[in-house]
Structure formats: structure tokens, C-alpha cells
Amino acid sequence: MRICCAQREDLTPWLDLAAEVEPLFGPMVEDPVFRRALSRNISRGTAYCIREGDGPAGSRLLAGLLLSPRPPVYRIGWLVVARSRRRSGLGTALVEHVVREIPSPAELVVITFGPGVRGGEAARRFYVRTGFAPAETVEPGPSGTPRQAFRRRIEGETDGAQPLAVCARDEPSADRRALPA
């Protein structure tokens, strides 16, 4: 299983993955704000994905993560694993991949579902399991969904092999570095 920086060709498969979670997250596929954010993340090299069969750009996506870097705080803006591939470690692999790329000391933050949200318990358990601590309650989402921040300190975990968001060398955007959002 290979984690890649998404390329332009991954945009449509990424929207297909987004369509799977619209019942949970709300509309995205036709939302120009989401589409712009996705394009921006792809351009700056902060859209990480796992493609089916480790295929070429444009293959079906099994999982995707968007990362917003504002050093020393990094935010997971979006994380989804295809329903058919959940509970097989893909979400953990994506999180650990970005943790290894983030220069320490730093903090990785995610805003996720508050307690009691239907369908949100998986994410809450997942983040605790991957080393995040439940933190402050934040403003409800647009449809009134309760939300909560989860935070993970990153101290000395960077392996130094690859600076943040430099794409794998065989990817066309290998020389793109993350820019502040």
C-alpha cells in the first residue's frame, strides 16, 4: 500500500470518495468551496491518498486526507476511508504518514464530531486510538452538528526522510512544497 500526493487526475476519484460520505459530512461534490479547497490542497501537495491497487493517478481512491499546515500547528481538514476498506488500517496509515512528515515539535489538530452524533463515534474512537486527546468543544457545523477538537502533540517523531508535502519522487509534482494555506 502506497501513500501518494494526489495529482490533478485524482480529482474526480476524490469526489467519488467524497460522495460516499455526503450523508455524514453534508454536500461536497457540488460545493464550489469544497472543490476549490481540494484543488488547492492538490496543487500545494497536501492532499494525501491511497489508490486502489497502488494504481496510477486517476485510479479509484481507497482513502484521502487533506492537511492544512500552519507551523507549528497542522490541521487535518478532511479524512475519509472508503466504506468497503474501513477497519483495515488505512486511516491509521495516512495519519502516521503525515505525522512522520511534520517537523517537530508541532501539534496535529482535527475538528471532528462531538459525542452522540450518529455515525460520528467511529471517528472519535479512531482519533483516540491514533494518539489524539479529546480537547475543546467548537462551534457546531453548518447543520448544527456538535463538533469537538482532538489534538496530538508531535515530539521527535519526524523521521527526517521527507520534508512535509514533498511528493514521492515518482510523482509529477515531486518538487512542489507545501505553502501556507
Ligand X SMILES: CC(C)(COP(=O)(O)OP(=O)(O)OC[C@H]1O[C@@H](n2cnc3c(N)ncnc32)[C@H](O)[C@@H]1OP(=O)(O)O)[C@@H](O)C(=O)NCCC(=O)NCCS
Grid cell in block for residue 17: 470518495
Shortest distance in whole angstroms from residue 169 CB to ligand X: 26
Nearer to ligand X, 81 or 173 (CB): 81
Provide the binding-site residues for ligand X, judged by CB under 6 A.
Answer: 21, 24, 79-81, 86-92, 110, 112, 122-123, 125-126, 129
Strand partners, 69: 74
Shortest distance in whole angstroms from residue 14 CB to ligand X: 13
Q: What is the largest CA-CA distance in the chain?
A: 43
Nearer to ligand X, 12 or 88 (CB): 88
Strand partners, 78: 66
Nearer to ligand X, 42 or 79 (CB): 79
The DSSP line for 78-134 is: EEEE-GGGTTSSHHHHHHHHHHHHSPSSEEEEEEEEPTT-TTTHHHHHHHHHTT-EE
Nearer to ligand X, 40 or 85 (CB): 85
Shortest distance in whole angstroms from residue 26 CB to ligand X: 12
Shortest distance in whole angstroms from residue 161 CB to ligand X: 22
Query: Which amino acid, residue 136?
Result: E
Determine the residue with CB nearest ligand X.
91
